[in-house]
């Protein structure tokens, strides 16, 4: 598709030419000069059009997209430009971005040398799961004269699915194992006792626990030998996501449910790497996805696809339904990581009897969120009496969250109170802590 456009330079030159003609009426000797300049302008305009629309002006554009986008990640997109033109071109690129980004001012410019290639890269951060459709690539070309612009369009519509963040999952996987556990974010947990499966007998080296010395093997080898243990395997780890209205609250562009979805994918991957069995349950007023725990190679992909399809529902969560679903769908004692949110003690007290019943059957960890906007408001200085009153109420709200943690602990229920952006790290830390303490 070919279209002709008039850039700003055209109007500047045309305006200057009009001014010259107006002045020439007052100063007649300038009139021949104005006529000559006008002829030169028409000649330059004709030459510019010939150069733009000649067969020697050949350029191609191709968008390079990843197979999937990660939710909440900076995903790089590149547009490759190839010129087979014998003169340099000024290129203005307008890419038709997916409607979810609501960006109508996207524009990039570059100077493309003759018979050369270049690329334009930019990043996009999606905050909703689903399919994102890119439109056409629009190129506005101009020669060094810059009096005219030619628009070319390339490509057809391209769709890219936005999945839960695989990048964050991989980063946490790299940081969750002992050999690199000193990196920021993953706590080193001291192992307690010997509630681990026997792995092998090895030679004693300095630093080994002398209580693990195998005296029979030592007497046979005439050297000290110790028993080596590993974490117990094949334990069930379920991510349970509340997808009711309390999880629609956005922080940093992502809803609490999307933070929980990213964390669920990360913890499922870590659990599978630890040879445990990962599963998934979502619920609101009815049970949504239900992926039975397993350790097969295809399990992570099954959980990923299930998480991709989940959406929040504008209803209250039915915890009685969760209790019966846990009894029916989960066989044997398991670790349940419940992602939800409580904005008041009353909300927690209302569902606490059900949580206690679930905790008798399984090891329940309630993961809920700190309101970072209120925390930021509390840390700001108050200059007025009204501001002091508002900060007092806000501080009371934050203290109430800590009281919820104490209330859950009082009834033997594990809990994690976290900022939304730290959810994945803190969830993995809690899982590793429970593993090290032999509680699962």
Q: What is the pLDDT of residues 232-267, one digit of tens each?
A: 667 899 999 999 999 998 888 899 999 999 999 999
What does the pLDDT read at residue 233?
65
Q: Which two tokens stand for residue 182?
A: 């000193």
**pLDDT at residue 174 greater than cutoff 80:** no
- 319 SS3 class: helix
Q: Which two tokens stand for residue 274?
A: 């630890």
Are residues 396 and 288 part of one domain? yes
Are residues 277 and 212 part of one domain? no
Are residues 276 and 358 part of one domain? yes
Are residues 127 and 64 part of one domain? yes
**pLDDT at residue 62 greater than cutoff 60:** yes
Average pLDDT over residues 108-112: 90
What does the pLDDT read at residue 183?
43
Are residues 376 and 251 part of one domain? yes
Q: What is the pLDDT of residues 395-438, one digit of tens each?
A: 888 888 899 999 999 999 999 999 999 999 999 999 988 887 77
Q: What is the pLDDT of residues 329-370, one digit of tens each?
A: 998 889 999 999 998 889 999 999 999 999 999 999 999 998
What does the pLDDT read at residue 268?
94
At 230, the pLDDT band (50, 70, 90 cuts) reads low
CATH number for the domain harbouring residue 393: 3.40.50.410
What does the pLDDT read at residue 35?
81
What does the pLDDT read at residue 1?
42
What does the pLDDT read at residue 382?
76
> Higher confidence at residue 160 or residue 146?
160
Other Cβ atoms within 10 Å of 75 Cβ, number = 21
Are residues 201 and 148 part of one domain? no
Q: Looking at the DSSP assignment, which residues form a beta bridge with residue 280?
A: 239, 291
Are residues 204 and 275 part of one domain? no
Are residues 269 and 352 part of one domain? yes
Average pLDDT over residues 311-315: 91
Q: Where do we find the tokens 């992570």? A: 300
Q: What is the pLDDT of residues 361-404, one digit of tens each?
A: 999 999 999 888 887 877 778 778 887 778 888 788 888 889 99
Q: Are 265 and 72 in contact (CB under 8 A)?
A: no
Number of domains in the chain: 3
Are residues 356 and 287 part of one domain? yes
What does the pLDDT read at residue 281?
96
Residue ranges making up the domain that contains 223: 197-230
Average pLDDT over residues 74-100: 91
Are residues 152 and 177 part of one domain? no
Are residues 270 and 336 part of one domain? yes
- Nearest-angstrom CA–CA distance, 32 and 57: 35
CATH number for the domain harbouring residue 153: 2.60.40.10
At 26, the pLDDT band (50, 70, 90 cuts) reads confident
Within 8 A by CB and 6+ apart from 230, the residues are 196, 197, 199
DSSP of 160-211, one letter per residue? EEEES-HHHHHHHHHHSSGGGTTSTT-------TT-SEEEEEEE--TTS-GG
Question: Among residues 86, 124, 85, 129, which one has the least CA distance to residue 102?
Answer: 124
Q: Where do we find the tokens 């055209």? A: 10
- 348 SS3 class: helix
**pLDDT at residue 65 greater than cutoff 60:** yes
- The last residue of a domain, from among 144, 163, 182: 163
Are residues 321 and 267 part of one domain? yes
Distance from chain centroid for Cα 143: 41
Write down the mean pLDDT value for the chain.
Answer: 86
CA distances from 397 to 37, 40, 206, 370, 373 (A): 74, 74, 51, 10, 12
Q: Which two tokens stand for residue 62?
A: 């191709």
């Amino acid at each position: 598709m070919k279209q002709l456009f008039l850039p700003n330079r055209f109007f500047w030159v045309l305006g200057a030419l009009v001014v010259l003609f107006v002045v020439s009426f007052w100063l007649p000797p300038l009139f021949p000069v104005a006529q000559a300049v006008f002829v030169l302008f028409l000649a330059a305009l004709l030459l510019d059009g010939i150069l733009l629309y000649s067969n020697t002006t050949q350029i191609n554009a191709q968008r390079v997209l990843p197979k999937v986008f990660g939710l909440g990640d900076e995903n790089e997109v590149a547009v490759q430009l190839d010129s087979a033109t014998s003169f340099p071109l000024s290129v203005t690129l307008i890419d038709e971005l997916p409607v979810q980004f609501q960006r109508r001012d996207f524009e990039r410019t570059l100077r493309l040398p003759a018979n050369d290639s270049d690329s334009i890269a930019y990043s996009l951060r999606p905050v909703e799961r689903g399919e994102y459709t890119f439109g056409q690539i629009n190129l506005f070309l101009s020669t060094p004269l810059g009096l005219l612009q030619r628009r070319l369009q390339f490509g057809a519509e391209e769709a890219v699915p936005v999945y839960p963040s695989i990048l964050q999952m991989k980063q946490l996987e790299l940081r969750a194992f002992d050999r690199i556990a000193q990196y920021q974010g993953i706590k080193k947990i001291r192992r307690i006792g010997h509630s681990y499966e026997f792995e092998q007998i090895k030679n004693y080296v300095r630093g080994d626990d002398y209580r693990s010395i195998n005296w029979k093997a030592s007497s046979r080898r005439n050297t000290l030998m110790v028993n080596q243990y590993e974490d117990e395997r094949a334990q069930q780890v379920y991510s349970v996501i509340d997808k009711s209205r309390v999880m629609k609250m956005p922080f940093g562009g992502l809803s609490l449910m999307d933070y929980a979805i990213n964390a669920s994918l990360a913890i499922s991957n870590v659990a599978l790497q630890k040879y445990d069995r990962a599963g998934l349950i979502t619920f609101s007023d009815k049970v949504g996805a239900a992926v039975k725990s397993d350790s097969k190679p295809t399990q992570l992909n099954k959980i990923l696809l299930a998480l991709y399809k989940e959406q929040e529902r504008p209803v209250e969560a039915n915890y009685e339904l969760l209790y019966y679903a846990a009894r029916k769908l989960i066989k044997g004692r398991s670790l349940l990581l419940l992602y939800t949110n409580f904005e008041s003690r009353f909300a927690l007290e209302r569902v606490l009897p059900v949580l206690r019943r679930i905790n008798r059957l399984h090891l329940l960890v309630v993961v809920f969120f700190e309101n970072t906007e209120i925390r930021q408001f509390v840390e700001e200085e108050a200059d007025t009496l009204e501001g002091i009153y508002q900060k007092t109420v806000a501080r009371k709200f934050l203290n109430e969250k800590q009281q919820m943690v104490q209330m859950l602990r009082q009834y033997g229920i594990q809990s994690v109170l976290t900022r939304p952006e730290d959810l994945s790290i803190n969830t993995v830390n809690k899982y590793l802590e429970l593993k090290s303490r032999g509680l699962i």
